[in-house]
Structure formats: C-alpha cells, structure tokens
Structure 1
Amino acid sequence: MRNAMTGLALLLALLLASGGAAGAADFPLAGTWTLTAADRITPAGVREPDYGAAPKGRLIVDATGRYSLQIFKSERTGFASGDKKRGTPQEYADAALGSSTHYGTIAIDAAAHQLVFRIEGASFKNWEGTTQRRAYDLKGDRLSYRVPTAPDGNVPVSEWRRER
C-alpha cells in the first residue's frame, strides 16, 4: 500500500510539474515548425516569393499557446562594417524588410477556421498589442495560413512543417 501511495504521489507531482492539464499537451499547434514557404498572392492572383527564393524561419508553439515566430529573407544584405550600429541605408532597409518576427499567444477559432494571433511584441512595432485572425490549413505536420491583406493589396502566405 505504501508503494502504491508513493507511486500515486509521484505521478501527481509529475502532472503538476508538466502543467497539470492533460488536454494542454494535445494543443494541435504545439511544437517546433520550420518555414517551407513565405510567399504573397498579388492582387492579380499570382503567387510569388515574398522573402526570396530560400526563406528561413522558425515557429515555436508551447502546449499553452505561447509562440515565437521568425521569418528571414536569405538574400538580405549583410552589414559591410560588421556592426549593426554602422549600417548603410540599404543595409538597414534589407534588415527591416527582410525579416518578420513576433511573439505572443496563438489560439484556434474552430468555428471560423482561423488562427488567432495576439501579438505582444514584434519587429514591426505597429503589430504590437494587436490581434490578427488568419485563415489556416492544418494537415498532420503541415500548417499554412494567410496573413491579412497588406496595404499594397498582397496577401502573404506562410507554410510550415512541424519538426519531429
């Protein structure tokens, strides 16, 4: 009986340490995702690269829906000085336009079939404190979603593959 109680206490301690809720580990977006495409759909309906030919990116989502996302254009210019405080206007433009990073919480609105990003911090300051809803498709370890239409009329599309 004593061994059974010790085992039960250990199991309870492990559950509490892992967050307690059995369903939290079942959050379908939890995991580490690698970017496979960062494109845009133009107003004419043409799909083209938005972050160059070989974009890089990572999306990390924990079991409670907290996330961190980074997308980088591979072809962005490095800083000739080796010091980001001493860049040229073109180097600064490439750094800003060649990356998109933000973090916060993500949820799924199943009824609307949308991801709901509540953005706490972002490289594009205007997004901080906003909520963005994005139509998505999740099939196994493949995730894609459409970002809200940009002021230029383009619709950014991101595609991800979950790492196993």
Structure 2
Amino acid sequence: MKSLWALIAGTLACHAAIAGNAPALGHELASLAGTWTLQAADVIHADGRKESDYGAAPKGLLMIDAQGRYSLQIFRTDRQHFASSDRAKGTPEEYAAAVLGTSTHIGTVSIDPTDHTLTFRIDAASFPNQDGTVQKRAYELTGDMLSYKVAPRPNGDVPVSVWRRLPVQ
C-alpha cells in the first residue's frame, strides 16, 4: 500500500512539474484555442483607403492549441499555376507571385486583454525576415470573430485580418 501511495505522489509531482513548465493559460488565451478560417485580409493605406490585400477571395486558416502554439496560412486564390508544373523550374515572375501571394508562419501566441494585444512569437515564416521575431497586434474578439491589425509596413500600409472560429465537430 505504501508503494501505491508513493507511486501516486510521484505521479502527481511529475504532473505538477510538467504543468509548471507549461505556459500558464488564462481564460483569454483559452478563448482563442480552436480553428479559425479567414474572412478578410485587407490593407488600410496611409490615406485611409481600405482594399483587399490578398485578392478578392483570399483563403486562410489559423489554428491555435490550448498551449498557445499556432499555425497561420493566408493565400491569394488567384495565384497562377507555374507553366512548367515543376516548382523548381518557375520563372522569376511565377516565384514572385507565389511568394507575394502567401503569408504563413508558426510559433506561439499570447494575449493581453488589458491592452487588447496579441503577441505572436514567430518561430518560422514564409518571409524569412520574420523568423525569430516577436510581433504585437491590436485585436478585437467578439464571439467567434477575431480581427487584428499588423504593424504598419514600411510604406505605411496596415494589414488587417479577420477570422471566424469554425465550430467544433
């Protein structure tokens, strides 16, 4: 019986140690967990005009797990296929369109509901200059709709993404 209690105590201690190493999840971060589908990927120009940043009907998916790990992808749906059907034999124009028509990154995300910011810690991105960066974004979360503004680009344009949570099946 003593060894059973020792095993239970050891197991609880291990779980506590593991939990101590896991990021603390508040209710706010837990409210982001799930799969989100892109509703809009717009850009607000310095003069206030708003237009689509990834074509008329962009597609995207944002997945956030309970520990705050995420994967995000945004694609232009009007990207042209490579003429050669071989990704290693594209033209400079095809490569440029493929790169400029996608935005992907993975890492961890945290939330600060007090100042309404999401913080993305980007481990890897389709744009290599974002690898290892930390990006804060102003957000709004209303029900199953999440929107956030990305930091302004060098030309002053501000990208805005709008996501809708998919229902759990």
TM-score by length of 2: 0.82
Residue 33 of structure 1 aligns with which residue?
36
Match for residue 117 of structure 1 among 105, 111, 120? 120
Aligned partner letter, 2:96: A
Counterparts of residues 81-92 of structure 1 (less than 5 Å): 81-92=84-95
Aligned partner letter, 1:124: F
- Offset of 1:110 from its aligned partner? 1.8
Match for residue 67 of structure 1 among 64, 67, 70? 70
- The answer to whether 1:108 aligns with 2:115 is no
Using the aligned pairs only, state the percent identity. Answer: 57
Alpha-carbon distance in 1 for matches of 2:26, 2:164? 19
Aligned positions, number = 149
Root-mean-square deviation (CA, aligned residues, Å) is 2.0
Consecutive unaligned residues of structure 2, counting only runs of 5 or more, are 1-7
Q: Return 98-107 or 73-82, whichever deviates more.
A: 73-82
Consecutive unaligned residues of structure 1, counting only runs of 5 or more, are 1-8
Alpha-carbon distance in 2 for matches of 1:65, 1:86? 38
Alpha-carbon distance in 2 for matches of 1:42, 1:157? 11
Alpha-carbon distance in 1 for matches of 2:113, 2:35? 21
Residue 142 of structure 1 aligns with which residue?
145
Residue 48 of structure 1 aligns with which residue?
51
Preserved CA contact (<8 Å) 1:25 1:63? no
Match for residue 99 of structure 1 among 102, 120, 123? 102
- The answer to whether 1:161 aligns with 2:125 is no
Closer, same or farther: CA 134–25 of 1 in aligned 2, 3 Å: closer
- Offset of 1:24 from its aligned partner? 4.9
Alpha-carbon distance in 2 for matches of 1:113, 1:161? 18
Deviating 4+ runs (over 6 angstroms): none
Aligned partner letter, 2:156: G
- Offset of 1:76 from its aligned partner? 1.2
SS in 2 for 1:105: strand
TM-score by length of 1: 0.85
Alpha-carbon distance in 1 for matches of 2:25, 2:121? 18
- Offset of 1:111 from its aligned partner? 2.1
Alpha-carbon distance in 2 for matches of 1:159, 1:110? 18
- Offset of 1:25 from its aligned partner? 9.2
